[in-house]
Structure 1
Amino acid sequence: MSSQNDADSTRLSYWLNWRVFLCEIWVLAPVVGALFIIWKYEDRSVETRANDDDDDDDDGKGRQDLSVDDVWRPCLNQIHPGWLLGFRVLAFCFLLATTIVRLLVRGWSIFYYYTQWTFTLLTIYFGLGSLLSVYGCSQCGRQQSMRVTTDRSGTVPENGHRQPFIEGEGMNSTKNRKIAGARVVSKALDSCIHLFQIIFQMSAGAIVLTDCIYWGVIFPYLSIQDYDLNFMTVNLHSSNLVLLLCDTALNCLRFPLFRISYFVLWTGSFVVFQWIIHACISVRWPYPFLDLSSPMAPLWYLTVALMHLPCYGLFALLVRIKHILLPQ
């Protein structure tokens, strides 16, 4: 949905007024605060051990440790990781196919909208989640194979591998190369896991915000104008939340509250992106409440900014209730 401009946004007078100044405060102040919170609380380390019962508590700073197993292991031990892998692959294929169809029909203009930004972010989440689940399932199969070997031999090799009786210089060199390669892979895996959790929390808040604004604000406005609601529009503003809720019900990812900062940065980036476009080109605004020439623009910007709190908080509450009802 787009809004027709009543004023030329490329003119300097469009930006030099009190409405724009207030809107800039509502957008940039939360962005600065989000950057400070990330700098203060973010921890890029990922625990490489399995989950323990005492890992469910916060460290008092709003941070929760992330285990490697969290990204691919279901919330219940009775559920095989392959089920989560299968769901993520199907969800990724569905979201990717939807995006490709929209690209073929409407072109690159679909990325002019916040909805498509969030939809694409969710597609990346399920794509990366599928890869991590494949890795997790392979590790799970390897562990089961080692258990079988251990049960048959009756002994547990040190570090899971048999050690040679004599190690020469060549053997030490090979071993060192293997250790160095393993460290590189471990760092890359840690970065992917960290990014995966951030995308999960960022897309959760963005999806709730997108669907709430569309069905609560935009759709009633379109209904007055006899707007013809099609399947693709309903799919775009409903399947995203359904798929993410299903994945949330299956996975055991944490949801630290301080990472609302990434959600704020995501929305702030979109708004600044729109400001830059409209400062250079006089085009329609993607959503009527973004139009800075409207007398109600400061109120709209403040309302949407405040909506980030309940949107993220509601999803965080759902995750918390799930961990309470389904403890591992």
Structure 2
Amino acid sequence: MKFQNVAGFTSLDYWLNWRVFLCAVWVITPMIVSLFVIWKCEDSSVKTQRRNGNDTGDSEHDDDNLCIDDAWRPSLKQIHPGWLLGFRILAFCFLLASNIVRLAFRGWRIYYYYTQWTFSLIAIYFGMGSLLSVYGCFQYKKQMRTRVTADQLGNDAENGIRLPLIKKENEKRKSSDSKTLRSCVHLFQIIFQMSAGAAVLTDSIYWTVIFPFLSLQDYEMSFMTVNLHTSNLVLLLCDTTLNRLRFPLFRFSYFILWTGSFVIFQWILHVFVSVGWPYPFLDLSMRMAPLWYLLVALLHLPSYGFYAIFVRIRQKLTT
């Protein structure tokens, strides 16, 4: 879609009317509620300590609290963390290359689009995931070495040989990990849940609303367009199948803030610059604009719900 200059968007008549007021209500009210939900729920739900007695995280009764190991351990304990690392590196390289190509051909204007915001966010997710998986592979190697040592020395306990304080050392390392990785793993989890809902929302709206409209105008589909509206969700679903991340529902609030931030960015941009809207349903001059804004806002529920169900099914199948 081309981004054309349009006169009239910066005039007061365009902004001071009942349509803009209603649209602002649909956008700002959910954002305020989301901030309240985060304030109430985030501190009590985020934990970075590993679950006692459940190193593999495959218990059916596991809660949705954040665990450091969840950032790098695969969903099945039979899978080596190196496989998840390899997939994340490949996905990150592919998404990064796609972003670089689009920037080279179209410049920074690609970030006028919510889809590009989400695409870049998913690239950041895989970049962080790759780093955490590298850390996890080192931790996994240490844990395997510790288990072998414990097995070798276990038989000597009957002979009166004092065993090393492995548990105490693990507790000390656990405390160190929590202090060092808390912020990084916390942010990683938030990006994961924001990306999940946003990817479903962007791809579903594009293929069900925007693409049929463009087809009527004989729009020529390019590889990069298909890539932009397909690969992000496919790669994220594959990673979700392999990873062990939880999906607490209260972080739906971050998804709302993500979309709301994009809309407010567009409003501020159009107040000062007369440019066309990146998506037709964002145009505030339409009499149906409040209905469109409300409809897109409501679409956040099934988008996030679909991914939450997908994660729950994965948890059931891997327990």
What TM-score, normalized to structure 2?
Answer: 0.90
- What residue is the counterpart of 1:18 in the other structure? 18
Of residues 273, 277, 280 in structure 2, which corresponds to 1:281? 273
Of residues 56, 64, 77 in structure 1, which corresponds to 2:61? 56
CA drift at 1:12: 1.2
The 8 Å contact of residues 89 and 130 in structure 1, kept in 2 or not, is answered as yes
Of residues 38, 45, 48 in structure 1, which corresponds to 2:47? 45
CA drift at 1:203: 0.3
CA drift at 1:53: 5.8
CA drift at 1:322: 1.2
The 8 Å contact of residues 92 and 127 in structure 1, kept in 2 or not, is answered as yes
Unaligned regions of 5+ residues in structure 2, if any?
A: 158-162
Of residues 194, 199, 207 in structure 1, which corresponds to 2:199? 207
1:157 aligns with 2:164: yes
Distance across 2 between alignment mates of 1:126 and 1:214: 23
CA drift at 1:135: 0.6
Kindly provide the CA deviation profile for residues 207-245 of structure 1, in whole angstroms up to 9, marking residues without a partner as x: 000001100111000000000000000000000011001
The alignment's C-alpha RMSD in Å is 2.0
Distance across 1 between alignment mates of 2:274 and 2:6: 10
Distance across 1 between alignment mates of 2:241 and 2:201: 20
The 8 Å contact of residues 49 and 174 in structure 2, kept in 1 or not, is answered as no
CA drift at 1:66: 1.7
Moved more, 103-112 or 4-13: 4-13
Question: Given residue 48 of structure 1, which amino acid in structure 2 is its aligned partner?
Answer: R
Distance across 1 between alignment mates of 2:306 and 2:101: 32
- What residue is the counterpart of 1:32 in the other structure? 32
Question: Given residue 87 of structure 1, which amino acid in structure 2 is its aligned partner?
Answer: F
Distance across 1 between alignment mates of 2:176 and 2:167: 20
CA drift at 1:68: 1.4
- What residue is the counterpart of 1:316 in the other structure? 308
- What residue is the counterpart of 2:160 in the other structure? none
- What residue is the counterpart of 1:127 in the other structure? 127
- What residue is the counterpart of 2:69 in the other structure? 69
CA drift at 1:56: 3.5
CA drift at 1:28: 0.4
Kindly provide the CA deviation profile for residues 107-129 of structure 1, in whole angstroms up to 9, marking residues without a partner as x: 11111110110000000000000
- What residue is the counterpart of 1:167 in the other structure? none
Residues 159-178 of structure 1 mapped to structure 2, 5 A cutoff: 159=166
Question: Given residue 56 of structure 1, which amino acid in structure 2 is its aligned partner?
Answer: H
The 8 Å contact of residues 193 and 247 in structure 2, kept in 1 or not, is answered as yes
The 8 Å contact of residues 72 and 133 in structure 1, kept in 2 or not, is answered as yes
The 8 Å contact of residues 19 and 295 in structure 1, kept in 2 or not, is answered as yes
The 8 Å contact of residues 2 and 287 in structure 1, kept in 2 or not, is answered as no
Question: Given residue 122 of structure 2, which amino acid in structure 1 is its aligned partner?
Answer: L
Q: 1:141 to 1:57 in 2, by over 3 A?
A: closer
Q: 1:101 to 1:226 in 2, by over 3 A?
A: same
Distance across 2 between alignment mates of 1:160 and 1:14: 67
Distance across 2 between alignment mates of 1:183 and 1:152: 26
The 8 Å contact of residues 74 and 251 in structure 1, kept in 2 or not, is answered as yes
Distance across 1 between alignment mates of 2:70 and 2:264: 34
Q: What is the count of residue pairs matched by the alignment?
A: 305
Residues 261-276 of structure 1 mapped to structure 2, 5 A cutoff: 261-276=253-268
- What residue is the counterpart of 2:146 in the other structure? 146
Distance across 2 between alignment mates of 1:53 and 1:282: 54
The 8 Å contact of residues 7 and 14 in structure 1, kept in 2 or not, is answered as no
Distance across 2 between alignment mates of 1:151 and 1:56: 29
Question: Given residue 45 of structure 1, which amino acid in structure 2 is its aligned partner?
Answer: K
Q: 1:87 to 1:54 in 2, by over 3 A?
A: closer
- What residue is the counterpart of 1:260 in the other structure? 252
CA drift at 1:276: 0.3
Distance across 2 between alignment mates of 1:107 and 1:53: 45
Distance across 2 between alignment mates of 1:306 and 1:23: 13
Of residues 236, 239, 247 in structure 1, which corresponds to 2:231? 239
Q: Percent identity?
A: 66
Question: Given residue 10 of structure 2, which amino acid in structure 1 is its aligned partner?
Answer: T
- What residue is the counterpart of 1:137 in the other structure? 137
- What residue is the counterpart of 1:197 in the other structure? 189
Helix, strand or coil at the partner of 1:78:
coil
Distance across 2 between alignment mates of 1:268 and 1:245: 24
Helix, strand or coil at the partner of 2:98:
helix
Helix, strand or coil at the partner of 1:56:
coil
